[in-house]
Amino acid sequence: SHPVIAIDGPSGVGKGTLAQYLCCKTGFNLLDSGAIYRALAFGALKSNISAENLPGLVNLAENLPVKFVDTSIIYEGEDVTSKVRNEEVAAAASIVAAIPEVRAALLKRQKGFAMAPGLVADGRDMGTVVFPQAPVKIFLTASAEVRAERRVNQLKSQGVSANIVQITSDIMARDERDRTRTTSPLVPASDSVIIDTSELSINQVCDKAIDLLWK
């Protein structure tokens, strides 16, 4: 089996940035598991499948028409990369992600990303559920305030205005759902290394992670 670097943590903590950096350094493949949950939520909204329609959601999860091409997310042939990034889809993703049958239906697909030479897997349960055998597990944390501030700056740099109060409350609601669900709740794996990024720059986080690879 191929080596996996598992990166877990709450929304807006910098997992995606770290995952991309480690992919560049190692030449490993990337799994953005959140994008799979977002694609599922997007598809459910598009096809009017409600969160109560369990068979409909499971069927969609098992046959999800999503493809990852370079850095783009393609849903039924349409590039939905920016569409799935909005907070409406994120909130819907965290609702469908709380359904055990949905998570089970997406498990095999996620495991399939572990190909040569290795994988950097970004999500909430990479080290606990999907790749429990991963030799390197990193769990990133930061206060909700710091994460909301980073998100606002990211949006501003994209020319999008953002309300810090709204974003903080969205992030906290999503974290609460992710932490308190019964299946695969957001918790650090017992063998993970926890990095609090609140007071660290992106470069400092990346350096710490690189150190871990050589331990």
Return residues touching ligand C5P (CB under 6 A): 11, 33-34, 37-38, 90, 93-94, 97, 123-125, 174, 178
Contact 4, 130 (CB under 8 A): no
Residue nearest to ligand C5P (CB): 34
Q: How far is the CB of 11 from ligand C5P (least distance, A)?
A: 4
Q: How far is the CB of 52 from ligand C5P (least distance, A)?
A: 18
Q: How far is the CB of 37 from ligand C5P (least distance, A)?
A: 3
Nearer to ligand C5P, 118 or 174 (CB): 174
Nearer to ligand C5P, 52 or 214 (CB): 52
Q: How far is the CB of 130 from ligand C5P (least distance, A)?
A: 7
Q: Which two tokens stand for residue 197?
A: 């990024």
Nearer to ligand C5P, 133 or 211 (CB): 133
Contact 128, 189 (CB under 8 A): yes
Contact 185, 127 (CB under 8 A): no
DSSP 130-193: I-TT-SEEEEEE--HHHHHHHHHHHHHHTT----HHHHHHHHHHHHHHHHH-SSS-S---TTPE
Nearer to ligand C5P, 100 or 211 (CB): 100
Nearer to ligand C5P, 69 or 215 (CB): 69
Q: How far is the CB of 49 from ligand C5P (least distance, A)?
A: 17
Nearer to ligand C5P, 39 or 209 (CB): 39
The residue behind tokens 């932490």 is: 179
Q: How far is the CB of 93 from ligand C5P (least distance, A)?
A: 4
Helix and strand numbers (H, E) in the chain are: 8, 8
Q: Which amino acid is at 92?
A: A
Q: Which amino acid is at 15?
A: K
